[in-house]
Amino acid sequence: MNILLGHTNMDLDCIGSIVMARYLFPGYVPVKSRLIHPVAKNLYNLYQNHLGFINPMDLEGEDVEHVVIFDTRSHKRLREYFDRLGEDWNGKVDIYDHHVNDSLDIPGATLHECTYGSNTTFICEKLIEKGIEIVPDDATIALCGIFADTGNFTHQNVNEKDFAAASWLMKMGANKNIAMKFLSKLSEEYQVTLFHQVLNNLEIRNIHGHSIAIAYMELEEQVNGLAAVIEKAFEIEHCGAIFGIIGFCDSGNTLIIGRSRKEKIDMLPILGDWGGGGHSRAGSALLKKKFGTQIKDDFLKHLQSELLPAIKAENLMTSNVLTINENLTILEASIYLEEIGHTGVPVENDEGVLSGMITLRDISKARKVKQMHSRIKGYMTKKVFYTEKDASIREIEKIFNKHHVGHIPVLNEDKKILGILTRRDYLDFLERQKQI
């Protein structure tokens, strides 16, 4: 017997990968986890006869020669299967996974990896290369996997291959309407109620320049679908990461659910230190017999020590800033801008303090009324939107987007210029982030 399997608590991307892999490995038997992510459960229930997954307990006593694993490379997330195979099992193992920052701890396994937003994309790519065609139901299931793990193509790690795979699946007959229906995270009325509770309890903390959303709640008992509730709150909050800390009164346990948008907020070490697991952008930890607000306080201290500092204005700014004195003439400003090839520069007073900005547009206004010999301070823009060196990327974005400026001076506490940020600096940063 040869089998296909994925991580425990299978999600849509995991299921999509296995469904596509059946075409690459004809005759291999797919195995389902005893736990299925709430967002994926409705899809599995609808298609379970078509999927033909067996249970992990069905592996007992079977002579399994080849195991092909999808969407994980962690033995901890595969224990429910390997326990059934037995301690002495030493068959062949292949892994197809897109979590390149995770560590491989399965002895003797051959790893096939990619950096795509979805693991399903990786398997679709193999089918496209081989010219293999698939049936519409499988195309729909796979499309769900790609949509889910790319956040409908909005996550930072989305690759052009993800778009290509989705396009191919549509050609194969995938039903986008069905896919979007299964991606509706809050399918139960109680989830909607919990979602509003999360929003009401949400706190935004600035930790080392990162905007972190924290929601602490206490429920009478544990319910399904809490991860979907936290993910929905994360969708509408413009923050680097979110952590839901939910205590259960009946058991005295606490569940921590985390989601991240940023490379520097890695869920694996953050939640791994608390006995949890997952991958770099999503994870959870169950704390048994630990309950109360002290957990929230301790977790915030943990974040303070664990998180790497975020990118700040001082990391992006140009330090050697060309400036001009406010008492020079408009004509001198025009000549100066032409010499340095800039469209505008910060203006300083005699004490070296920022007093305005002079641009080609300001000079044009003076030229029209023949005031080229007037002082700069009479025509410069006096209302300057500036920032400080510790400003976060989010604060910088707000200035660019709200005030439509092309330059943002970076000042010290005495309002003297330390550097300057341009739109180009910001766009170059976004481009570098895409390549990480």
Residue 401 CB-density burial (10 A; 0-12 exposed, 13-18 middle, 19+ buried): exposed
For position 377, which CATH number holds?
3.10.580.10
- Using an 8 Å Cβ cutoff, are 293 and 401 in contact? no
Residues 8, 140: one domain?
yes
The span from the CA of 279 to the CA of 101, in Å, is 8
Residues 250, 371: one domain?
no
- The CA–CA distances, whole Å, from 38 to 186, 230, 288 equal 10, 12, 22
Range of the domain at 122: 2-182
Last residue of a domain, one of 124, 152, 182: 182
First to last CA, the chain: 40
Last residue of a domain, one of 158, 182, 206: 182
- Using an 8 Å Cβ cutoff, are 157 and 117 in contact? yes
Residue 261 CB-density burial (10 A; 0-12 exposed, 13-18 middle, 19+ buried): middle
Residues 328, 262: one domain?
no
356: number of CA atoms within 13 Å, CB side?
Answer: 16
> Checking DSSP bridges between strand 210-219 and strand 282-287, what pairing results, if any?
unpaired
Residue 417 in tokens = 């210029």
The total domain count for the chain is: 3
pLDDT number for residue 281: 85
For position 49, which CATH number holds?
3.90.1640.10
pLDDT number for residue 312: 87
pLDDT number for residue 384: 93
The runs of H, that is alpha helices, within 307-349 are 313-316, 330-340
Residues whose CB is less than 8 angstroms from the CB of residue 87 and which lie 6 or more positions away in sequence, other chains included: none
Residues 202, 234: one domain?
yes
The span from the CA of 194 to the CA of 200, in Å, is 10
pLDDT number for residue 426: 87
Digit-coded pLDDT (tens) for 216-241: 999 999 988 898 899 889 988 888 99
Nearest to 420 by CA among 363, 340, 345, 364: 345
The span from the CA of 124 to the CA of 150, in Å, is 15
- Using an 8 Å Cβ cutoff, are 6 and 17 in contact? yes
Give the angle subtended at the CA of 239 by the CAs of 236 and 240, to the nearest 5°. 130
Edge to edge, the sheet with strand 282-287 lists: 202-207, 210-219, 241-248, 253-260, 282-287, 277-279
Residues 294, 323: one domain?
no
Residues 361, 423: one domain?
yes
pTM beyond cutoff 0.85: no
Nearest to 100 by CA among 68, 72, 142: 72
pLDDT number for residue 436: 45
The span from the CA of 129 to the CA of 136, in Å, is 19
pLDDT tens, per residue, the chain with 436 residues: 999 999 998 999 999 999 999 999 999 999 999 999 877 888 999 898 999 999 999 999 899 999 999 999 999 899 999 999 988 899 999 999 999 878 899 999 999 999 999 999 999 999 999 999 999 999 999 999 999 999 888 777 889 999 999 999 999 999 988 888 777 667 678 888 999 999 999 999 989 888 999 999 999 999 888 988 998 899 888 889 999 999 999 999 999 999 998 878 999 889 988 998 877 888 899 999 999 999 999 999 999 988 877 788 999 998 989 999 999 999 999 999 999 998 899 999 999 999 999 999 999 999 999 999 999 999 999 999 999 998 888 789 889 888 888 889 999 999 899 999 988 888 888 777 654 4
The runs of H, that is alpha helices, within 86-135 are 119-130
- Using an 8 Å Cβ cutoff, are 283 and 271 in contact? yes
Residues 158, 12: one domain?
yes
Residues 43, 71: one domain?
yes
Give the Cβ contact number of residue 96 at 10 Å: 26
The runs of H, that is alpha helices, within 206-292 are 226-236, 267-272
- Using an 8 Å Cβ cutoff, are 54 and 62 in contact? no
Residues 227, 258: one domain?
yes
Question: Helices 38-51 and 12-24 sit at what angle, rounded to 10 degrees?
Answer: 30
To the nearest whole percent, how much of the chain has pLDDT over 70?
98
- Whole-number CA gyration radius for the chain: 27
Residues 102, 169: one domain?
yes
Each residue of 287-319: b (16+ CB within 10 Å) or e?
Answer: beeebeeebbeebbeebeebbeebbbbbebbee
Residues 201, 95: one domain?
no
226: number of CA atoms within 13 Å, CB side?
Answer: 26
pLDDT number for residue 435: 46
Q: How far is CA 300 from the centre of its chain?
A: 20
Residues 22, 167: one domain?
yes
What mean pLDDT value characterizes the chain? 91
For position 229, which CATH number holds?
3.10.310.20
> What is the rounded (10 degree) CA torsion for 344, 350, 353, 354?
-20
Last residue of a domain, one of 306, 324, 347: 306
